[in-house]
Each structure stands twice: as C-alpha cells, then as structure tokens.
Structure 1
Amino acid sequence: MDKDDQLFVNHLRDLADLCYQRGIPVYTDFLNLHEQTVFLAKMPEFSHVRIRLDGGYEEAERKIVCFLPVYEEEADRERLPIVPLKISSSAGKFTVPCTHRDYLGAVLNLGIERGKIGDFLVGDGYAYVLCTKNMADFLMNSLTSVKRNPVICRIVPFSELTGQVSYRELTGSLASLRMDSLLALFMKSSRTAAVSCLDGERVFVNGRLCVSHGAVPREGDIISVRGAGKFVFDGVLSSTKKGRLMVKIRIYG
C-alpha cells in the first residue's frame, strides 16, 4: 500500500470512528474503483459500524461509502447524500451530440472536485449525473452549456434512472474460461494486450482489483477495464465439439 492509499485508509477510519462515537451517519465522497478496492480490503476493520456502498443506481461504478450506526436501519437511497440531476439541451433540433467526456469536462471545468461527482448516463440530447447533495444547487445554477449546447439542469427522482443504462451484446468463443481470454474478446485484442491490462492493475471485477490472468469470471460479474469501458459477463451459452466455449457479454454504452 502506497502513501496515498494509507492516507485514504486513515481518512476512512476517522469517518467510521466519527460515526461510532457520535451515533450519526457519515459519508465519503464518490470513490473510484481503485479506492473501492482499497476500502473493501479493509472492511473487517469497520465492524463497529454498518456499511453501505451505493452510487445512486444498481449498475453504478463510482460509489460512496455510508458509515451508519449499528442500531440504525439501513438508509433508503433517497436519504443518502446523492442527488440525481438531468442535464438537458435547450437547443432543440440544433443540439450538437455530446459524449460522456463532454459532460464530464463541462462539469469539472466549473472547478468541482471529481469526488463530488458520480456516474454519467448519457442519452440523446441529455445526460443524468449523480452528485453529492452539497453540489446540486451549484451545478443547477452554474452549468449553462455543454459543448455548444445551452443546457438546463434539474433534480429528478432516482426512479428516472431505471432503464437508462444501455448495452450492446457480444458473443464469441473462448478456448477456456479465463479472465485474459474474456478480456481479449471484450477488447477485440490479443491475450497479450489483455494480460497487459491485468498486470497494469486496470481491471476490476465488481469493484475489486483483479490481476489474475486465470481468474474464472462468474455469471453476472461486472468487469471494468480502466480506459476501455466495462461489461457484464452473461455466462456460457454452449460448448463446441472441439471444447470451445461460446460466451455472451453485455457491453455498457
């Protein structure tokens, strides 16, 4: 564990102790996948409080850690300090298409720290963004354009996020069910390139770092490759007479 990770763990301990001593819910900012991996490795240290990891919707990648008093019932999502905002273009038919990077760049250019912002769900002429509660008013008042589009921001209910995640399906055959083979299929690359991602600590399975070339994915696993995207492993469909496995994945976006 490097110095930055140790400082991060010390911060988590301080938050958990504050929750325990004062009997109040305490929350982190949005954590990236590496931070979540560090936290999950240290979870046994936080047995004196209750823990919830949430990003505002089921498939969220960036999540906050909620430290809750042991006697308190688990908080509903609506009670968490996460606010869903919808960023909508007001340019009508003149709307210029925008990507995830365009929306993220526009928000960060306002001077907001990355940890205050969760995932973006991008649609046609709009995007949903999850943010910490103390950033919602600032975003609604300050974000006026994305790319060349004038935009309006408003708070929406969490239920509006349901069904906003889009996928495209991909099937392919593998010689064996190994992580490096599955990544090569997803990235449409060689196993050597997939191994490089694993060795470079760029692969996360359900938020946990994965470096094992031969790790066996389980059906339903959400696998993220930093810089390449993420996908859901939907399992083995069939096997051929030569022993190859036909698998299906669903790629986000």
Structure 2
Amino acid sequence: MSLYQHFRQEEHAFIDLATDWKELVENEYRPKLTDFLDPREQHILRSLIGEKETVSVAFSGGSLNAERKRALIYPDYVTPEPDDFEVDVFEIHYPRKFVQLEHPKILGSLMGLGLKRGKFGDILSDGGRYQIAVCKDIADYIKLNFTAVGKTEISLSKPAEADRLEQREMWEEKMTTVSSLRLDVILKEAFHLSRAKTKPLIQNERVKVNWRPITDPSFSVEEKDMISVRGFGRVSLQSIEGETRKGRYRVMLTYPV
C-alpha cells in the first residue's frame, strides 16, 4: 500500500525527500540530521519510518514540548544524545521598558536575514522574555547578523539550560456540527465569522493549514489538520465523529488557551 494515498498531493514532495533520508541511513548506515520540521512534517516522517524498521527517528527542538523540531534518523546501533540534535537557543535582549516585541516581527526579521524557515525552530515567550531555537551550523551567523527586530536594536545570549523557556500551550475542546468540511465553513464555525468574512481571509493569504498558506475557500479540511488565521489564532480539527441525521458533520475542534 502506497504511503502517498494517506497524504495530500502537495505533501508528496516531502514524502520523497523523507524517503531519500531514510534510504541514506539504510544504505550508508550513518545518522541523518534534518533542519527543523513542523509538526505535520514530523508526523509524515514518523509514519514513513514506522516502528519495525532497521532505522528509527527521534526529535528535539531545544525546549520541552517544542513544536518545531529537528529529526535525527539513525540506524539501530545508535543511541541518540541531546547534543546530536545540534540545537542552540538564544535569548533576545531588548529595552523592555520602552518597546514590546511580537512573534510575527521576530519571525519577519529572521526571515529577512535570508535564512530558510527550517534553520530555526520555535520562538518562545513568557510575555516579556523571548527565546529562539536555531540550527547550530548557523548560530554564529545569527549572533553576528540578528541585531534588530524592526527598528528595535537587540542583542543575543545563550541562556543556561535551566533558564530556557518551555512551550506551555494548553488546549480546550469544543464539539460542534458543520455542514461541510470546507475550509471556509470550518473557519466560520471555529471563529464565529460570517462566510463573507472568511473568504477574504483565505484569499488574502491570512490562513494556513498545517503551516502552509491556503487560498482556496473550498479546500477540504481533514482530521488532525492545524489551521492558523492571522489575527484570530489557531484551531485544530481534532476528529470527525460522524454525521447527524440531517447530514451534518459532527466534529471536535481544539483551541489553545
């Protein structure tokens, strides 16, 4: 049975890449370390490797419960150690009394350095402090060139292990019904919006499904899909529980709280 049939067409390219990683480890019998992967990519890679193979996979993102993580694909003779994932964490220092940083601005400034998104992981905050996880091979470049967020000058330092921030997102469940699994219909129910408002949000590239921009309102949402809407937050279609007598889908939505 082909793995392709379990995933969307746009995910096939990543399946091919992950297959190449797996074959490299099998053929050369040495570990392969990836850049940071989003949770959907981690799920695909975990599905591809399986549990009864000659190779295994482990993940680490530099902090407890990290969302974006590097994957280490390794042969059975290897026992992964924390240092094998080559993740550095930086704390961002800025004049907190006078300015307030925001996640999108930090992300935009990092992308402005010409880095691929996979070269850095989570951007964590406790409301005042901010930390970023990066691939060790670009840590020196980051420290030298990441000197401002917008117009705010910053500096970086490496926090002690005990001072690293953690991902503490909790999720709340909501059972509801929807007329279809179209993206615009799910958004309407999830965020209490009119269909007239959801369509422009999608078409103006303010909506992502599984960390990928989606511009088609009729896009079909599936179980475990993560939807993020700029300015509104995130929601996951955790499960589809069946249909009602009137032909509506009974779904479980989960929200970060």
TM over 0.5: yes
Matching of residues 119-158 of structure 1 within 5 Å? 119-158=122-161
Match of 2:191 among 183, 187, 192: 187
Secondary structure, in 3 states, of the residue corresponding to 1:24? coil
TM-score normalised by the chain length of structure 1: 0.65
Deviation string, structure 1 residues 145-178 (Cα, Å, up to 9, x no partner): 11222211122345433445466x86877579xx
The total of aligned residue pairs comes to 223
In structure 1, the residue matched to 2:214 is none
Matching of residues 28-107 of structure 1 within 5 Å? 28-44=34-50, 47-73=53-79, 75-89=80-94, 91-94=95-98, 96-107=99-110
Contact 1:56–1:84 (Cα < 8 Å) also in 2? yes
Contact 2:88–2:135 (Cα < 8 Å) also in 1? yes
Deviation at 1:143, TM superposition (A): 0.9
- Residues in 2 aligned to 1:6 and 1:121: alpha-carbon distance in whole angstroms: 30
TM-score normalised by the chain length of structure 2: 0.65
Q: 1:103 to 1:148 in 2, by over 3 A?
A: same
Q: 1:24 to 1:43 in 2, by over 3 A?
A: closer
Contact 1:232–1:251 (Cα < 8 Å) also in 2? no
In structure 2, the residue matched to 1:237 is none
Deviation string, structure 1 residues 108-131 (Cα, Å, up to 9, x no partner): 111111111111113445311111
Contact 2:49–2:56 (Cα < 8 Å) also in 1? no
The one-letter code of the counterpart of 1:225 is I
Secondary structure, in 3 states, of the residue corresponding to 1:226? strand
Q: 1:184 to 1:43 in 2, by over 3 A?
A: farther
Secondary structure, in 3 states, of the residue corresponding to 1:29? strand
Q: 1:76 to 1:189 in 2, by over 3 A?
A: farther
Contact 2:234–2:256 (Cα < 8 Å) also in 1? yes
Where does structure 1 lack aligned partners over 5 or more consecutive residues? 205-210, 216-220, 234-246
Q: 1:6 to 1:25 in 2, by over 3 A?
A: same
In structure 2, the residue matched to 1:242 is none
4-13 or 118-127, which moves further after superposition? Answer: 4-13
Deviation at 1:138, TM superposition (A): 1.0
Where does structure 2 lack aligned partners over 5 or more consecutive residues? 211-219, 238-251
